Copies of this chain bind each other. A is one copy, B any other.
């Protein structure tokens, strides 16, 4: 019946409207486990994070210090990094990025406007299975913590960072969700992290994700000379 009906006559008003179903700009995303070969990118991202927090003077991480302390244990048993990658073309079938412990999470989003990334050369992915246009957009570093009350582990998220040109697109939520999903998969009890009390936007974002902000707890830190004073435990 529909085929037999004459097509409706277009009106001048209708032809002046924008296309009601724009294709937009697809952006292909992937979250995968980082490896030692990602250290140069992780190092640059950490320093961008330190600049963002106006704490660059406190950032002494080097590629050497990261290389000697990260990726020394299997993923999830100790310090673990997820890398966010972005591409304008689909990711190839998972080859060496696939691990028995974690299958990369791919997702496609549609943008109204393409993103102009001024650092594509610096952050070009070193995954040889990928196309030339894959860039690293952010990371999350986390590790197991433990709740004695639950009698089981959880994850603590030490840092979550998305490069400036990729912000406000949901990538931070993607990275944190990937950690939470992994915690659920492993039967863990909690995912925790810290936020500055004046960062109301971050607090709102985390609360919308379902997190509670523990108002009464304060973090104590023993570091530098105050820590070195305990070199001899019998004092």
Q: Which residues of A contact B (CB under 8 A)?
A: 31, 46, 49-50, 55, 58-62, 65-66, 69-70, 73, 77-79, 105, 107, 141, 143-154, 156, 158-159, 177-178, 180-185, 189-198, 203, 206, 209-223, 226-235
Contacts and interface: CB of A to CB of B under 8 A. Distances in A.
Contacts of A143: 144-146
Contacts of A77: 73, 77-78
A77 to B, nearest CB: 7
Nearest to A106: B234
Contacts of A149: 46, 50, 55, 58-61
A61 B148 CA distance: 7
A190 B49 CA distance: 20
A201 to B, nearest CB: 14
Copies of this chain held together in the complex: 2
B62 A230 contact: no
A2 to B, nearest CB: 36
Given A61-B150, A181-B232, A212 B216 contact: no
B141 A148 contact: yes
A146 B139 CA distance: 15
A190 B144 CA distance: 17
Contacts of A50: 149
A212 B158 CA distance: 19
Contacts of A65: 150-152
A210 B192 contact: no
Contacts of A177: 230, 233, 235
A192 to B, nearest CB: 5
30 contacts: A46-B148, A49-B148, A58-B149, A60-B149, A69-B146, A69-B151, A69-B153, A78-B78, A79-B153, A105-B233, A107-B234, A143-B144, A143-B145, A145-B156, A146-B158, A181-B230, A181-B231, A184-B230, A190-B222, A190-B223, A192-B222, A194-B220, A196-B216, A203-B220, A209-B222, A210-B222, A210-B227, A211-B221, A212-B222, A217-B219
